[in-house]
Amino acid sequence: MSAKIPAVVLGGSGYVAGELLRLIAGHPHFELAAVMSDSQPGESLAQAFPHLASAYADVRFKSQTELEKLLAEAPRSAVFSAAPHGVSAVLIDRLLTVAASAGTHPRVVDISADFRYSSAQAYESVYKHRHGAPGRIAEFSSAVPEHLPKLATPHVGHPGCFATATLLASVPLLALGLTPPAVFVSGITGSTGSGRKPVEGTHHPVRHSDLYSYNALSHRHAPEIVACARAATGVEADFAFVPHSGPFARGIHVTVQAALKSPLDTPRVLAALRDFYAHAPFVRVTEQAPRVKEVATSNYAHLSAAANGRTVAVMCVVDNLNKGAAGGAVQWMNRIYGLPETAGLTTPAPGWT
């Protein structure tokens, strides 16, 4: 049996990093080599993530200097970045530069927004600050794994969690020419999607038993949805996106609606979706309306649809931390290294989260 591939996690103290660490702990081909947190170097990983203590009892966060040394010595490695937007690109650029000087070849999947756009200008127009490594952008592709059969770059920028769910629901409609390019999206996300540091919108007493929209028609994920949909379908679509904050911790539910170009009923739309995702191991198309609990903590996406001859609605549920972030990143890294795409990701949802 070949040796496991050393895995490195950047931005190691947030929710997405914690989910990456959980997935790596059970992965048959990756083995954690280091987790970096410049704010907590030397601190115990189990202190930041008590639920991972059984897997990482003696692991401590490493500094950037320690990480550079590790990547310079490892002939190959899998680097997962969960660092914040605006920070990730600079860090990745530095690590890749050090590795290139040493003749090593890490592969990177970035879960931040820093490599989701095809140009620095496109990124800067959304995030309102300069891109940290514009010279690296051409080395990254950005797509959900189901929509890019062959990867032409060494690294990947994973789309956001809302983008993942919306793209899984909308790309078949656009690619198959079932709808015009005017798409309406309503999405609901759990509180973990807002990060680990509590703010008014994520503080439990405020969010519990409540539901409210935010950034209606102006959410920053909308431009990346448009870009990824264009890359997957060749269609320049207009996504009218209204996100909502839900009273639960994990999961995303989106409803995508559009007019139909020609009359279709529900069974024909479901058949089209099943055919489109026939070779996508993590996408299930069901007749029943999908529920967040069916996928929470898993890398699976459940879709369903309804059509009345004039309008189609496609519903999609994913776990925001897994399929929408860490799990999708591992799925990409599996493909980058020629491993089975499903390796380490087939655990089903518990169902009673």
How do beta strands 76-81 and 5-10 pair? parallel
Tokens coding 10: 């950047």
Burial group, residue 95, by CB count within 10 angstroms (0-12, 13-18, 19+): buried
- Residue 145's contacts (CB-CB under 8 Å, 6 or more residues apart) are 328, 331, 332, 335, 341
Distance from the first to the final alpha carbon of the chain: 36
Q: Which residues are catalytic?
A: 161
Mention every residue, 6+ apart, whose C-beta is less than 8 A from residue 143: 156, 159, 228, 231, 232
Taking residue 203's Cβ as centre, other Cβ atoms within 10 Å add up to 12
CB 277 within 8 A of CB 335: no
